[in-house]
Structure 1
Amino acid sequence: MDWLLSGIVVVLLVVGYLIFRSRADVSGSEARQLVDAGAVLLDVRTPQEFSGGHIEGAINIPVQELHHRLADVGAHDRAVVVYCRSGMRSARASAMLKEAGFSAVRDLGGIGRW
């Protein structure tokens, strides 16, 4: 019974961490200003989600392909605004970009925040 309780606690901690980590760090209006000033707008959803509707001017690189397509994002010193459907994938992608040396990464979270 102790292992069951321990398992539940671990799951709750992981879920809490993922929710906290997925919090966006830029508002929709701030993201628009960044894009208007030349930032790359990066949609990390699947191609099917992207073709179903996306923010005008966005490039689509699914989060699963991002490590292999970093050059498609552009220069490491150019601002990048990342979004997905709910904010989970954009948080992962933002972390990947920062680890790869991109210096101005902002996470919009979900597309609905635009």
Structure 2
Amino acid sequence: MGNGEEILGFGYLMQNAGARAAIASLWSVSDGGTQALMNSFYGLLTTGKLTKAEALRQAQIALITGDYSAVGDNRGSLIVEYVGSQLPPDVSKNLNHPYYWAPFILIGNGL
């Protein structure tokens, strides 16, 4: 029997190890969908204009809309490299189903 902490999962472990924030998934996810989401997330985050929480939100919206080349926000258009050609061949280019984008959550400091 555990102490109950195992249910908290990866995000809890990362914070316990000292990370200020962690992106974790709520269920088992597709490698290709994860690659598309994380490429978009880091592309947005490296602009330095968005918080981690907003970059994750906009990356999820990119999967929903299928638009990886331009992710709009209130300040204009941010360019994100199209990742469709980098996805494994078994992954559909239509990643708008919640299975691909909905399981990702940001735990901790989203700033």
Q: TM-score, normalised by structure 1?
A: 0.24
Q: Which has the higher contact order (CA 8 A, sep 6+)?
A: 2
Bigger Rg over Cα: 1
